[in-house]
Protein backbone atom coordinates (compact mmCIF):
# COMPACT_ATOMS: atom_id res chain seq x y z
CA UNK A 1 0.00 0.00 0.00
CA UNK A 2 1.39 3.44 -0.94
CA UNK A 3 2.14 6.09 1.75
CA UNK A 4 -0.56 8.28 0.32
CA UNK A 5 -3.17 5.61 0.82
CA UNK A 6 -1.91 4.78 4.34
CA UNK A 7 -2.12 8.40 5.43
CA UNK A 8 -5.65 8.69 3.97
CA UNK A 9 -6.83 5.90 6.25
CA UNK A 10 -5.15 7.22 9.41
CA UNK A 11 -5.58 10.95 9.24
CA UNK A 12 -9.08 12.26 10.09
CA UNK A 13 -9.80 15.64 8.62
CA UNK A 14 -11.11 17.44 5.58
CA UNK A 15 -10.58 14.58 3.15
CA UNK A 16 -12.53 12.07 5.23
CA UNK A 17 -15.30 14.55 5.98
CA UNK A 18 -15.59 15.32 2.25
CA UNK A 19 -15.70 11.60 1.43
CA UNK A 20 -18.47 11.04 3.98
CA UNK A 21 -20.56 13.89 2.60
CA UNK A 22 -20.03 12.60 -0.94
CA UNK A 23 -21.11 9.10 0.06
CA UNK A 24 -24.30 10.39 1.69
CA UNK A 25 -25.11 12.54 -1.32
CA UNK A 26 -24.49 9.68 -3.73
CA UNK A 27 -26.68 7.35 -1.67
CA UNK A 28 -29.53 9.86 -1.68
CA UNK A 29 -29.21 10.31 -5.46
CA UNK A 30 -29.30 6.57 -6.07
CA UNK A 31 -32.45 6.26 -3.94
CA UNK A 32 -34.31 8.73 -6.15
CA UNK A 33 -36.42 7.32 -9.00
CA UNK A 34 -35.33 8.01 -12.55
CA UNK A 35 -37.69 10.92 -13.25
CA UNK A 36 -38.07 10.77 -17.01
CA UNK A 37 -38.57 7.01 -17.25
CA UNK A 38 -40.82 6.81 -14.22
CA UNK A 39 -42.99 9.68 -15.39
CA UNK A 40 -43.27 8.19 -18.86
CA UNK A 41 -44.30 4.83 -17.43
CA UNK A 42 -46.91 6.30 -15.12
CA UNK A 43 -48.40 8.91 -17.47
CA UNK A 44 -51.80 7.85 -18.83
CA UNK A 45 -51.90 7.07 -22.53
CA UNK A 46 -53.68 9.98 -24.21
CA UNK A 47 -56.17 9.05 -26.92
CA UNK A 48 -57.87 11.72 -29.02
CA UNK A 49 -61.13 10.77 -30.73
CA UNK A 50 -61.18 12.74 -33.98
CA UNK A 51 -64.67 12.41 -35.37
CA UNK A 52 -68.09 13.80 -36.13
CA UNK A 53 -71.42 13.73 -34.29
CA UNK A 54 -71.26 9.96 -33.81
CA UNK A 55 -68.34 10.37 -31.41
CA UNK A 56 -69.02 13.95 -30.29
CA UNK A 57 -72.17 12.78 -28.51
CA UNK A 58 -74.95 14.44 -30.46
CA UNK A 59 -77.93 15.19 -28.15
CA UNK A 60 -76.24 13.29 -25.31
CA UNK A 61 -74.74 14.42 -22.00
CA UNK A 62 -70.95 14.60 -22.17
CA UNK A 63 -70.72 11.74 -19.69
CA UNK A 64 -72.46 9.34 -22.09
CA UNK A 65 -70.66 10.35 -25.30
CA UNK A 66 -68.33 7.81 -26.88
CA UNK A 67 -65.02 9.18 -25.49
CA UNK A 68 -66.31 9.29 -21.90
CA UNK A 69 -67.83 5.80 -22.04
CA UNK A 70 -64.70 4.42 -23.68
CA UNK A 71 -62.44 5.93 -21.01
CA UNK A 72 -64.53 4.37 -18.24
CA UNK A 73 -64.49 0.98 -19.94
CA UNK A 74 -60.71 1.04 -20.32
CA UNK A 75 -60.15 2.20 -16.75
CA UNK A 76 -62.43 -0.60 -15.54
CA UNK A 77 -59.86 -2.95 -17.10
CA UNK A 78 -57.11 -1.28 -15.09
CA UNK A 79 -55.69 0.67 -18.03
CA UNK A 80 -54.31 4.16 -17.43
CA UNK A 81 -55.81 6.28 -20.18
CA UNK A 82 -57.15 9.71 -20.96
CA UNK A 83 -59.68 9.87 -23.82
CA UNK A 84 -60.21 13.32 -25.30
CA UNK A 85 -63.36 14.22 -27.24
CA UNK A 86 -62.39 15.96 -30.49
CA UNK A 87 -65.65 15.22 -32.26
CA UNK A 88 -67.47 17.99 -34.15
CA UNK A 89 -71.06 17.45 -35.26
CA UNK A 90 -71.46 17.77 -39.03
CA UNK A 91 -67.74 17.49 -39.69
CA UNK A 92 -66.43 15.94 -42.90
CA UNK A 93 -63.11 14.29 -43.57
CA UNK A 94 -61.87 17.54 -45.13
CA UNK A 95 -63.00 19.42 -42.03
CA UNK A 96 -61.10 17.01 -39.81
CA UNK A 97 -57.99 17.51 -41.91
CA UNK A 98 -58.32 21.27 -41.64
CA UNK A 99 -58.44 21.24 -37.85
CA UNK A 100 -56.03 18.36 -37.34
CA UNK A 101 -53.15 20.24 -35.74
CA UNK A 102 -55.18 21.94 -33.00
CA UNK A 103 -57.58 19.03 -32.46
CA UNK A 104 -54.68 16.62 -31.92
CA UNK A 105 -52.17 18.52 -29.77
CA UNK A 106 -48.64 17.57 -28.79
CA UNK A 107 -48.57 14.81 -26.19
CA UNK A 108 -51.18 12.71 -27.99
CA UNK A 109 -50.24 9.02 -28.11
CA UNK A 110 -53.06 7.65 -30.25
CA UNK A 111 -56.01 8.79 -32.35
CA UNK A 112 -59.31 7.06 -33.01
CA UNK A 113 -60.28 8.38 -36.44
CA UNK A 114 -64.03 8.36 -37.13
CA UNK A 115 -64.84 10.54 -40.12
CA UNK A 116 -66.59 10.11 -43.44
CA UNK A 117 -70.25 9.60 -42.54
CA UNK A 118 -71.11 13.20 -43.42
CA UNK A 119 -69.14 12.93 -46.65
CA UNK A 120 -71.34 10.01 -47.60
CA UNK A 121 -74.59 11.71 -46.56
CA UNK A 122 -73.68 14.73 -48.67
CA UNK A 123 -72.71 12.61 -51.65
CA UNK A 124 -69.12 13.88 -51.68
CA UNK A 125 -66.97 12.08 -54.23
CA UNK A 126 -65.30 9.07 -52.52
CA UNK A 127 -61.93 10.05 -53.98
CA UNK A 128 -62.15 13.37 -52.10
CA UNK A 129 -62.92 11.57 -48.85
CA UNK A 130 -60.14 9.07 -49.46
CA UNK A 131 -57.59 11.81 -50.10
CA UNK A 132 -58.48 13.67 -46.90
CA UNK A 133 -58.36 10.53 -44.75
CA UNK A 134 -55.05 9.49 -46.30
CA UNK A 135 -53.54 12.88 -45.41
CA UNK A 136 -54.86 12.69 -41.85
CA UNK A 137 -53.39 9.23 -41.30
CA UNK A 138 -50.10 10.17 -42.96
CA UNK A 139 -49.65 13.28 -40.85
CA UNK A 140 -50.51 11.47 -37.63
CA UNK A 141 -48.08 8.64 -38.35
CA UNK A 142 -45.37 11.17 -39.23
CA UNK A 143 -45.83 12.56 -35.71
CA UNK A 144 -45.40 9.09 -34.20
CA UNK A 145 -49.09 8.82 -33.28
CA UNK A 146 -50.78 5.41 -33.51
CA UNK A 147 -54.14 5.32 -35.31
CA UNK A 148 -57.33 3.29 -35.06
CA UNK A 149 -59.32 3.83 -38.27
CA UNK A 150 -63.09 3.38 -37.95
CA UNK A 151 -64.84 2.41 -41.16
CA UNK A 152 -68.20 3.57 -42.46
CA UNK A 153 -70.57 1.97 -44.97
CA UNK A 154 -72.85 3.67 -47.47
CA UNK A 155 -76.55 2.70 -47.42
CA UNK A 156 -78.11 1.11 -50.54
CA UNK A 157 -79.96 4.29 -51.49
CA UNK A 158 -76.64 5.93 -52.38
CA UNK A 159 -76.40 3.61 -55.39
CA UNK A 160 -74.21 0.59 -55.97
CA UNK A 161 -71.38 2.44 -57.72
CA UNK A 162 -71.12 5.07 -55.00
CA UNK A 163 -71.35 2.49 -52.20
CA UNK A 164 -68.69 0.31 -53.82
CA UNK A 165 -66.25 3.20 -54.12
CA UNK A 166 -67.01 4.64 -50.68
CA UNK A 167 -66.95 1.35 -48.76
CA UNK A 168 -63.56 0.46 -50.21
CA UNK A 169 -61.88 3.56 -48.79
CA UNK A 170 -61.42 2.26 -45.26
CA UNK A 171 -60.10 -1.29 -45.66
CA UNK A 172 -57.75 -0.20 -48.44
CA UNK A 173 -56.40 2.73 -46.42
CA UNK A 174 -55.96 0.54 -43.35
CA UNK A 175 -54.01 -2.06 -45.32
CA UNK A 176 -51.82 0.54 -47.02
CA UNK A 177 -50.96 2.44 -43.84
CA UNK A 178 -50.78 -0.44 -41.34
CA UNK A 179 -53.14 1.12 -38.81
CA UNK A 180 -55.53 -0.69 -36.46
CA UNK A 181 -58.84 -1.11 -38.28
CA UNK A 182 -62.45 -1.39 -37.10
CA UNK A 183 -64.55 -2.04 -40.23
CA UNK A 184 -67.87 -0.38 -39.29
CA UNK A 185 -68.26 2.07 -36.43
CA UNK A 186 -72.04 1.50 -36.17
CA UNK A 187 -71.75 -2.28 -36.17
CA UNK A 188 -74.41 -3.85 -33.95
CA UNK A 189 -76.63 -0.79 -33.69
CA UNK A 190 -77.24 0.28 -37.29
CA UNK A 191 -80.31 -1.95 -37.66
CA UNK A 192 -81.48 -1.72 -34.05
CA UNK A 193 -83.96 1.13 -33.62
CA UNK A 194 -83.89 0.78 -29.83
CA UNK A 195 -80.24 1.84 -29.82
CA UNK A 196 -80.72 4.89 -32.04
CA UNK A 197 -82.25 8.28 -31.43
CA UNK A 198 -85.48 9.36 -33.11
CA UNK A 199 -83.58 10.65 -36.15
CA UNK A 200 -82.61 7.07 -36.93
CA UNK A 201 -78.95 8.03 -37.33
CA UNK A 202 -77.32 8.80 -33.99
CA UNK A 203 -76.85 6.32 -31.15
CA UNK A 204 -78.54 6.69 -27.79
CA UNK A 205 -76.44 6.40 -24.63
CA UNK A 206 -77.21 2.65 -24.70
CA UNK A 207 -76.21 2.56 -28.35
CA UNK A 208 -72.89 4.18 -27.51
CA UNK A 209 -72.34 1.57 -24.81
CA UNK A 210 -72.93 -1.14 -27.42
CA UNK A 211 -70.39 0.47 -29.75
CA UNK A 212 -67.83 0.69 -26.95
CA UNK A 213 -68.28 -2.97 -26.04
CA UNK A 214 -67.70 -4.06 -29.64
CA UNK A 215 -64.76 -1.78 -30.43
CA UNK A 216 -62.95 -2.34 -27.12
CA UNK A 217 -60.65 -5.15 -28.34
CA UNK A 218 -59.43 -2.94 -31.17
CA UNK A 219 -58.77 -0.07 -28.77
CA UNK A 220 -56.76 -2.44 -26.58
CA UNK A 221 -54.77 -3.41 -29.68
CA UNK A 222 -54.16 0.30 -30.27
CA UNK A 223 -52.90 0.74 -26.71
CA UNK A 224 -50.63 -2.27 -27.09
CA UNK A 225 -49.01 -0.62 -30.09
CA UNK A 226 -48.44 2.54 -28.08
CA UNK A 227 -46.85 0.63 -25.20
CA UNK A 228 -44.54 -1.44 -27.40
CA UNK A 229 -43.42 1.40 -29.66
CA UNK A 230 -39.66 2.03 -29.34
CA UNK A 231 -38.80 5.16 -27.41
CA UNK A 232 -37.85 8.05 -29.68
Which one from 36, 161, 191, 199 is the annotated catalytic residue?
199
H-type alpha helices, 51-159: 53-56, 66-76, 93-98, 100-103, 117-121, 126-142
Find, among 124, 121, 105, the residue nearest to 46 by Cα. Answer: 105
Q: In this structure, are residues 111 and 47 in contact, taking their beta carbons and an 8 Å threshold?
A: yes
SS3 50: strand
Q: Residue 84 in contact with residue 67, Cβ under 8 Å?
A: yes
13: alpha, beta or left? (left if phi > 0; alpha if psi -120 to 50):
left
Catalytic residue among 52, 53, 103, 119: 53
- Which value, to the nearest 10 degrees, does the dihedral of the CA atoms of residues 96, 128, 214, 82 take? -20
Query: Does the annotation count 53 as an active-site position?
Result: yes
Q: Based on the residue annotation, tell me whether 199 is a catalytic residue of this protein.
A: yes
| Catalytic residue selected from 93, 109, 167, 202 | 202
Q: Is 192 one of the catalytic residues?
A: no
What residues act catalytically? 53, 199, 202
Amino acid sequence: MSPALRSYGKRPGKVQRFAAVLAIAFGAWVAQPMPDRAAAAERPIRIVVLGDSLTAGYQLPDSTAFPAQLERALKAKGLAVEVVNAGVSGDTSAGGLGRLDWSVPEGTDAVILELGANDMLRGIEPKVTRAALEKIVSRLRARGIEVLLCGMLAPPNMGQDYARAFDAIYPELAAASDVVFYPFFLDGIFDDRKLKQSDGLHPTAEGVAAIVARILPKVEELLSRVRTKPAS
